[in-house]
């Protein structure tokens, strides 16, 4: 008898349904299924941008918004009229006695947009609290 050789063809790959397909394989244009935990991830830069935005929002609304909520309206800033011979150091020590002198002077300068220690008699200065 003679031997019969049967050639086997490679079988055609079976097509799988979406449920049978491994998750790491996907079709082009088809939605990719991802685990819920890694759906949102932020870079360090993204975290910094969000933090800076939150701080800016708090700074913009924080002190003014709290003052309005407590008092029901804008807070009046006390003012002082500079007398002849008075210095900014004297006014700071008198009006803000609980603070160190240097810090009190700087706060008054910031509240009045002063870039020096020079003040004039009759000048109105806002005193921050």
Residues 126 and 90 in one domain: yes
Domain assignment of residue 22, yes or no: no
Number of domains in the chain: 2
CA distance readout (Å), 118 to 56, 86, 90, 105, 115: 32, 10, 12, 12, 9
Domain assignment of residue 23, yes or no: no
Domain assignment of residue 68, yes or no: yes
Residues 62 and 83 in one domain: no
Per-residue pLDDT of the chain (129 residues; tens, 9 = 90+): 566 666 666 666 666 665 665 655 555 666 666 555 556 677 888 888 888 888 887 777 765 555 555 556 666 788 999 999 999 999 999 999 999 999 999 999 999 999 988 999 999 999 998
Residues 66 and 84 in one domain: no
Domain assignment of residue 127, yes or no: yes
Cα–Cα distance between 88 and 94 in angstroms, integer? 10
Domain assignment of residue 34, yes or no: no
User: Model pTM?
Assistant: 0.44
Q: What does DSSP assign to residue 115?
A: S
């Amino acid at each position: 008898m003679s031997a019969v050789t049967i050639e086997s063809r490679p079988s055609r790959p079976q097509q799988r349904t979406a449920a049978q397909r491994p998750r790491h394989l996907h079709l082009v244009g088809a939605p990719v299924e991802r685990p819920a935990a890694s759906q949102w991830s932020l870079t360090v830069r993204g975290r910094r941008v969000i933090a800076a935005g939150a701080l800016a929002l708090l700074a913009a609304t924080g002190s003014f918004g709290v003052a309005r909520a407590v008092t029901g309206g804008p807070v009046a800033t006390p003012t002082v009229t500079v007398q002849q011979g008075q210095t900014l150091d004297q006014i700071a020590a008198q009006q803000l006695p609980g603070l160190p002198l240097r810090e009190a002077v700087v706060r008054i300068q910031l509240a009045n947009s002063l870039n020096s220690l020079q003040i004039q008699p009759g000048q109105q200065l806002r005193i921050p609290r």
